[in-house]
Amino acid sequence: MVAVAGGALHSLAVRSDGTVWAWGDNAYGQLGDDTLSDRTTPVQVRGLTGVMSISAGYAHALVVRSDGTVWAWGWNSSGQLGDGTTVNRSAPVQVQGVSAASDVAAGGYSQSLAVRSDGTVWRLGSSAPAQVLGVNGVVTGAAGVNHSLAMTSDGTLWAWGVNTEGQFGNGLPVYATTAIRSLLYGALSHRSERKLTCPSSTPWGAPSSQGSSVSFPRALPHAG
């Protein structure tokens, strides 16, 4: 296995041959085997090869293939699969409008992000993908329930979305207006494994009451 991802009640793994395998709950088609049957042993996600990166949300998943295309399946209540619909998918569909992708992030109930090789970040939804403004040079991202993170090539962390519980880590009120560097700036820029994570659900698996509004990105504080 070369990569793994876990949703609320399902698990995913990428084998060295680029295929994806899944097991667990399948109520929304999140196992990607073109059924809605739960699985207690791994089954192959239908039609995917050459997978390089994978991420799982509450009941949906995203992958990047070696040709830079992004594919998604599972729950699609808010268009998080990026196929221009809100129809759940039990087998992978190609995300529309995103090419040359290098990383993906699925989080919470309906968050989906794609990082392109040009360092831009794109938010997926029922309409065309929208670029996250104010941040470039991104190497990896992460999606939570109502907030997202991105790390740029110099190790700076950026955050956007809801900050009611201080999830931006900048010690400021809900909406910060000044871009400042992260407390982990130096450490992150020298790490060989550059992958961010955010919690994918609120406690007890209950939907957050804070909504899913998104504001412009802002950087986290610099140590000292």
Report pLDDT digits (tens) over 42-82.
999 999 999 999 999 999 999 999 999 999 999 999 999 99
Q: What is the C-alpha R_g of the chain?
A: 17
- If one compares 127 and 15, the residue with the highest pLDDT of the two is 15
Report the 10 Å Cβ neighbour count for 92.
Answer: 26
The pLDDT of residue 209: 33
Q: Is the pLDDT of residue 214 over 90?
A: no
- The set of residues, in sequence order, having a beta carbon less than 8 Å from that of 88 and lying 6+ positions away, is 28, 29, 74, 75, 76, 77
Left if phi > 0, otherwise alpha if psi is -120 to 50, otherwise beta: which for 84? left
41 — pLDDT class (breaks 50, 70, 90): very high
220 — pLDDT class (breaks 50, 70, 90): very low
Residue 173 half-sphere exposure toward CB, CA atoms < 13 A: 2
Partner residues linked to 171 by β-bridges: none
Asked if 171 contacts 208 with a C-beta cutoff of 8 angstroms, the reply is no
Q: Name the pTM for this structure.
A: 0.81
Rounded CA-CA distance 143/160 in Å is: 10
